[in-house]
Structure 1
Amino acid sequence: MSRTYTTSTAFLEALEEAGVSYIFSNLGSDHPGIIEGLAIARKENKKLPEVIMCPHEMVALSMAHSYAQVTGEPQAVLVHVECGTQNLGGAIHNAYKGRVPVLVFAGASPYTQEGELTGSRNEFIHWIQDVPDQRGIVRGYMKYDNEIRSGKNVKQLVHRSLQIAASQPKGPVYLVGPREVMEEETEPVSLQTEKWQPIAPAALPPQEINRIMGDLKKAKNPLVVTSYLGKNTSAVKELVELCEKCAIPVIESVPNYMNFPSDHPMHCGYQWNTPTQNEQLAKADLVLVFDSDVPWIPTKNKPSEACTIYYFDEEPLKESMPLWYVPSKRSFQVDSETALYQLNERLRDTNLNEETIHDRWNRISLYHHKQREKWAEKEQYEKDVITPEYLTGCIREVIDDNTIVVNEGISNFETIYTHLRRTKPGSIIGSGGGSLGWNGGAALGAKLSAKDQKVVSLTGDGSYMFSVPSAVHWMARRYNLPFLTIIYNNRGWKSPKLSTLGVHPEGTAFETDEYWVDFEPHADLAGIAEAAGGAFAKTVKNPDELKASLHEALQALNEGRSAVLDVYLPAIKQSNKKDTPEEKAGLGKL
């Protein structure tokens, strides 16, 4: 039987040539050419990216998302026409807002119906799934989108797409290909892949460095605020060097990564929807913001009017956010590692007031120490309840620096960062977006990218259900990717309750304690993973059982089996008398 070389063959070859290792796929009637190309390659022992079958598209893209976060390498996701594209759901938002490189390919319904071309319509669904603007479904969340129209230049389109995806600011790209085009016979094309590399990182203009250095030397209370600088682990080292030389404290605002070691004397804590004015931010006379979409929330917490602000980011204008501004003296479109390297280089030739730096170091170190003492007080054991702080402190005790933590704790987001106290770059990741359900696929992607490391997923019960756990744990068993999930289970969506109280602190919802967010009757969340993937499953309600249960779960992990601990925290549905003043204001620790 003759085997033809088609657009699909060239497409798959292009992915391989570009360094794509995996295709996270949910295949459909638009992919016969792709499937045939993969089958031929397997029969002929031809190397192509490995196909990972994903029963749900949300899981597929979340898996590609975290794989790229851990390795820095963009992967491919294959989905079915416009239905599969829409089923990617919030994962598209997360990849775009999280600046994660990934190539999404979707087929398109055939454009002939009389058998004029190979691949012409021959199934009922080809009419139903034909829509006017399939690319428009995701255009607002893509750096680039295009349609494959010929096999003659499909490799150029793939390499251009991945070049755009991997260039700062990184992000997802989208290609579509109708069935007839993907079945088209074509001639092999050879490209010089080294000519399709991402654009080089941007640096500070040399003349601006003197301005920054001048303000830094004059500052009595400088401060660094960052959120996702740690996406590049090498940038963390440069930030530590700057802060050590100048005794600059650091706040992590809505962090998506480990941006600065939590045990460093200059680390001054985390903030998310924090209700109070941050002391370090209030007294700062100079703030250097590196890689942060939301360095503070002005209605609650911000620098003084007299403070000088410099803003460093890959996309300082935030053109995809209609309302956004940080009033800065100067904003720079830069790669933060490069900018920090430039500043550190200049500091080597700069005379600093050593006495001022020494005094500031001692003052900030004392603040750091007292802050940690307060954190430790909140982690204390309580007889009748498992608090989020106690749970997180117990998790910290049983994991090590090489564990990769996937954090989608939502209402316990700040608690998790605060009490895990991560110190190693790359040891904790978040989605970077706001669409729930990333955690399950993300844990799989992290494990696939680092098979010799433990992966622990921390999630709320709501975000766990959004993650399609039945698909996630089926995949974990099929592909031997065991990980531990710990559910911070308050039996409902706490964040909408807090948002309501933020606007109506003494309203009728508060009076009646009715927010339509409680999950009753309560599901056996751990049991879902056991049924779908044979995971070790346990529900923990008694604080006396918590530590032993954590060790049981880790033992299952050591034996190559996934584990889920469903840990019951104080429930959403409770008397408002138990709410803290901050929670009554809708500003509790989210």
Structure 2
Amino acid sequence: MSEYTTSTAFLEALQEAGVSYIFANLGSDHPAIIESLAKAKKENKEFPEVIICPHEMVALSAASSYAQITGKPQAVIVHVECGTQNLGGAIHNAAKGRVPVLIFAGASPHTQEGELVGSRNEFIHWIQDVMDQRGIVRGYTKYDNEIRSGKNVKQLVHRALQIAQSNPRGPVYLMGTREVMEERTERISMSTALWEPVSGAAIPPQRVQELVKELTEAKNPLIVTSYLGRNPDAVEELVSLTERLAIPVIESVPNYMNFPVGHPMHCGFQWNTPKQNELLAEADLVLVLDSDVPWIPTINKPSADCKIYYIDVDPLKEQMPLWYIPSKRFYAADSYIALQQLNQALKEAAIDERSIQHRRVQITEIHHKQRVEWHRREKFRDDIITPEYLTACIREIVDNNTIIINEGISNFETIYTHIQANRPGSIFGSGAGSLGWSGGASIGAKLSAKEKTVISLTGDGSYFFSIPSSVHWIARKYHTPFLTVIYNNRGWKSPKLSTLGVHPNGIANETNQFWSDLQPSADLAKIAEAAGGAYAQTVKNPNELKHVLRDAIKIVREGRCAVIDVHLPSI
């Protein structure tokens, strides 16, 4: 008992909960955790593996993608309020992307004269003592609390993880001072079966028949989704529904593979698309399944008399101060369960098969014409490398054992369109808006699926934000090789596009002054080479592209990172 501390109990609780990795940036607040880890290693006791992360943004991004791919939350340990703030945009991404992860931060000691083990003994302990450390992330976490005793630390950990994994999922935050984490305590046993996440909800049974009737009677129904594919089983149910009723599907700002792109009912993607989608305009019923932004009303929306049904784990978007899409019904339901309900009810429904077959032919023709246009955009040019051609070339090196990490930003829609993913779990985005996720996310993806090939597609701006020196140091140390392809237009294109969207004929456009030019261009690939020994190549000649990509993917599959910096037309 004399050597069993709150920190040991904390680490045991993570192990009991099935946490595989702790992505850690340790500091002066963690001596007890370090001691417990060292003791466990000496005694061959199994604790989650520690991944040393020289930057907290990378740590949380890695933990997040691991959870996205496996569904299992991981842990991140950071240093007091400084490390908490250094989580930066990653906590935004985990919150908005609804990703379960547990973050633990130490806190400055609460005694200063040696009253307890762990009392203040460094000057920084006064400087890093702040009034409301938990408040730094409270707007982005589902739950926050302070560990005040080792006697109930396991209960707090399991409660936090239960909340993190219950829909709508999200990050949770715990903190504890040095003295508390050093406290000697008694070992207790916990049954994790008593701390399961809350089960998914369903459509109220009396409303299922109403929705089935509306779907079968609609002349031009449409389905819009963004993150239904976080559960691969839901994709299969969605395919069954669309095949039975010949309903087209549009993916709006997807961050998962939600519906097979090759399926004849798949009718494309939309992001900040600057025009009205014809299928959306003509729809008399839209079923929204798991989507925060199914369309942008100032540009692209359904008609005023279109019926809208909204099924989502969070249909009110309570953490979005301005959000409304007036709908006939809102259901806080798990889309997988809801689709099972609908597909079961359809077995007994009266269906006009002739009209279904007529619509099937129409939608299949739209699908085909769309793909012909996509193929036309991929045409080789000997003077420049277009984003469409680059993505098509990457598609050629992708196999059924590949995970794509997409942080293309201004090329986000292009990547989804031209990668043409057909397998659940084959492509991921952050689901949010803070850049720099893709580097750490690639590490997390590789750790979660070591047999897979991971390809990260990122803009040059996002690559800068990802802290590539930290990313590639970690990748080499922990043997997580992946391929990075940089869509390098030598600038932040998105601010330019945003300005033109509001001021298409303004002074900024007239003078070409957008303050987003990143020239002269850094040698981006060499950063990864210096920090992590990555294979580094810059490609400007279209004739060299395929050869370099083939070499790079071979090197990655042999166990070494590769970064290919591809120069696209400048912004």
Whether these two folds match at TM > 0.5 is yes
Q: 2 CA distance for matches of 1:218 and 1:192?
A: 50
After superposition, residues 109-124 of structure 1 pair within 5 angstroms as: 109-124=108-123
After superposition, residues 530-541 of structure 1 pair within 5 angstroms as: 530-541=529-540
Structure 1 contact 109–130 (Cα < 8 Å) conserved: yes
Q: 1 CA distance for matches of 2:49 and 2:521?
A: 39
Match of 1:432 in 2: 431
After superposition, residues 398-437 of structure 1 pair within 5 angstroms as: 398-437=397-436
Match of 2:79 in 1: 80
Match of 1:382 in 2: 381
Q: 1 CA distance for matches of 2:556 and 2:6?
A: 42
Q: 2 CA distance for matches of 1:83 and 1:134?
A: 9
What's the CA shift string for 1:95-137, capped at 9, x where partnerless?
0000000000000000000000000000010000000000000
Structure 1 contact 401–423 (Cα < 8 Å) conserved: no
Match of 1:41 in 2: 40
Structure 2 contact 2–184 (Cα < 8 Å) conserved: no
2:202 aligned with 1:199: no
Q: 1 CA distance for matches of 2:273 and 2:300?
A: 8
Match of 2:544 in 1: 545
2:165 aligned with 1:166: yes
1:402 Cα shift?
Answer: 2.2
Structure 2 contact 21–74 (Cα < 8 Å) conserved: yes
1:401 Cα shift?
Answer: 2.6
Partner amino acid, structure 1, of 2:317: K
Partner amino acid, structure 1, of 2:227: Y
Partner amino acid, structure 1, of 2:549: L
Q: 2 CA distance for matches of 1:73 and 1:213?
A: 34
2:417 aligned with 1:397: no
What's the CA shift string for 1:25-51, capped at 9, x where partnerless?
000000000000001111111111111
1:191 Cα shift?
Answer: 1.2
Partner amino acid, structure 2, of 1:260: F
1:24 Cα shift?
Answer: 0.5
1:374 Cα shift?
Answer: 0.3
1:398 Cα shift?
Answer: 1.3
Q: 1 CA distance for matches of 2:216 and 2:506?
A: 50
Q: 1 CA distance for matches of 2:102 and 2:46?
A: 19
SS at match of 1:529: helix
SS at match of 2:186: coil
After superposition, residues 313-392 of structure 1 pair within 5 angstroms as: 313-392=312-391
Q: 1 CA distance for matches of 2:284 and 2:30?
A: 58
Partner amino acid, structure 2, of 1:160: R
Q: 1 CA distance for matches of 2:118 and 2:45?
A: 24
SS at match of 2:267: strand
Q: 2 CA distance for matches of 1:556 and 1:11?
A: 40
What's the CA shift string for 1:236-260, capped at 9, x where partnerless?
0000000000000000000000000
Match of 1:557 in 2: 556
After superposition, residues 228-307 of structure 1 pair within 5 angstroms as: 228-307=227-306
Partner amino acid, structure 2, of 1:309: I
Structure 1 contact 458–486 (Cα < 8 Å) conserved: yes
- Large movers: runs of 4+ above 2 Å: none
Q: 1 CA distance for matches of 2:63 and 2:559?
A: 22
Match of 2:527 in 1: 528
Partner amino acid, structure 1, of 2:338: A
SS at match of 2:222: strand
SS at match of 1:154: helix
Q: 2 CA distance for matches of 1:52 and 1:477?
A: 12
Partner amino acid, structure 2, of 1:331: F
SS at match of 1:153: helix
SS at match of 2:63: helix
Structure 2 contact 408–458 (Cα < 8 Å) conserved: yes
Larger displacement relative to structure 2 (439-448 or 512-521): 512-521
Q: 2 CA distance for matches of 1:381 and 1:451?
A: 34
2:494 aligned with 1:489: no
Q: 1 CA distance for matches of 2:94 and 2:216?
A: 39
Partner amino acid, structure 2, of 1:447: K
1:218 Cα shift?
Answer: 1.3
Q: 1 CA distance for matches of 2:81 and 2:145?
A: 14
Partner amino acid, structure 1, of 2:189: S
SS at match of 2:151: coil
What's the CA shift string for 1:385-416, capped at 9, x where partnerless?
00000000111111113210000000000000
What's the CA shift string for 1:338-371, capped at 9, x where partnerless?
0000000000111211001100000000100000
Q: 1 CA distance for matches of 2:265 and 2:201?
A: 27
Unaligned runs of 5+ in 1: 573-590
RMSD: 0.7
What is the identity percentage for the equivalent residue pairs of Structure 1 and Structure 2?
71
Unaligned runs of 5+ in 2: none
SS at match of 1:52: strand
After superposition, residues 432-581 of structure 1 pair within 5 angstroms as: 432-572=431-571
Structure 1 contact 401–422 (Cα < 8 Å) conserved: no
Q: 1 CA distance for matches of 2:341 and 2:311?
A: 13
Structure 2 contact 6–180 (Cα < 8 Å) conserved: yes
Q: 1 CA distance for matches of 2:493 and 2:53?
A: 30
Partner amino acid, structure 2, of 1:392: T
Match of 1:56 in 2: 55
1:558 Cα shift?
Answer: 2.1
1:3 Cα shift?
Answer: 5.6
Q: 2 CA distance for matches of 1:307 and 1:507?
A: 36
2:209 aligned with 1:210: yes
Partner amino acid, structure 1, of 2:514: Y
Match of 1:584 in 2: none
2:24 aligned with 1:15: no
SS at match of 1:350: coil
